[in-house]
């Protein structure tokens, strides 16, 4: 096994903070209360910090380390279908797509949520519908993300949740992709 440092503290704190805050707003807080709005503002702030860190952060935090790549995505799906175990040190191609999806979706939720608090857009139905649709899409995406993390952890033998807690991936030597 190779013990590799992958996720820096900012990426890990961002990830788990987003998990807690999104779950709080989706499942616990009253959407009519100020707490819901304040949590939403913090989520948007986290997303903006993550975007900045994606431009200037550590190697595996940078967007340049995991660009959207249709060919790599197809290869990863083929690996999954054929049972081939190739482990990516950073984000997988499918994981990268999920990150871009969630960042964009969280921004849509935050912007539409803010719009609903302004005089110009208060009570406008399409803004409310956009907000609710984006929240529903985020919830569906989160479920897919969790299932995919569990699946890939079992399939590749790399405990991905532990890596997002500790920052280290323990990778079977024979399955690491050259990066």
179 located within any domain: no
Cβ–Cβ < 8 Å for 107, 137: no
- As a whole number of angstroms, the distance between CA 107 and CA 166 comes to 27
161 located within any domain: yes
Q: Average pLDDT, whole number, for the chain?
A: 94
Stretch (H or E) spanning 171:
strand 168-171
- As a whole number of angstroms, the distance between CA 7 and CA 19 comes to 16
Per DSSP, the residues of 19-61 read HHHHHIIIIIS-TTSHHHHHHHHHHHHHHHHHHHHHHHS-GGG
* DSSP structure class, residue 108: H
Which residue range is the domain that position 80 belongs to?
A: 2-173
pLDDT per position as a tens digit, 27-72: 999 999 999 999 999 999 999 999 999 999 999 999 999 999 999 9
Residue 85 — very low, low, confident or very high, per pLDDT cuts 50/70/90?
Answer: confident
178 located within any domain: no
pLDDT per position as a tens digit, 120-161: 999 999 999 999 999 999 999 999 999 999 999 999 999 999
- As a whole number of angstroms, the distance between CA 167 and CA 3 comes to 10
Q: For the beta carbon of residue 177, count every other beta carbon within 10 angstroms.
A: 15
- CATH for 155: 1.20.950.20
| C-alpha neighbours within 13 Å on the C-beta side of residue 38 | 5
Q: What's the domain count of the chain?
A: 1
120 located within any domain: yes
- As a whole number of angstroms, the distance between CA 94 and CA 70 comes to 9
- As a whole number of angstroms, the distance between CA 173 and CA 140 comes to 34
């Amino acid at each position: 096994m190779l013990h590799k440092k992958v996720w820096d503290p900012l990426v890990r704190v961002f990830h788990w903070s987003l998990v807690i805050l999104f779950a709080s707003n989706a499942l616990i807080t009253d959407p009519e209360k100020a707490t819901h709005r304040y949590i939403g503002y913090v989520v948007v702030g986290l997303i903006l910090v993550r975007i900045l860190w994606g431009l200037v952060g550590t190697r595996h935090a940078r967007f340049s380390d995991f660009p959207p790549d249709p060919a790599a995505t197809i290869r990863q799906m083929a690996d999954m279908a054929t049972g081939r175990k190739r482990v990516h040190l950073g984000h997988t191609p499918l994981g990268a797509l999920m990150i871009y999806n969630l960042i964009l979706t969280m921004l849509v939720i935050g912007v539409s949520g803010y719009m609903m608090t302004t005089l110009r857009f208060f009570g406008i139905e399409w803004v409310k519908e956009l907000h609710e649709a984006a929240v529903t899409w985020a919830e569906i995406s989160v479920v897919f993300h969790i299932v995919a993390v569990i699946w890939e952890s079992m399939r590749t033998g790399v405990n991905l949740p532990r890596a997002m807690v500790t920052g280290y991936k323990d990778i079977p030597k024979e399955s690491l992709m050259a990066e």
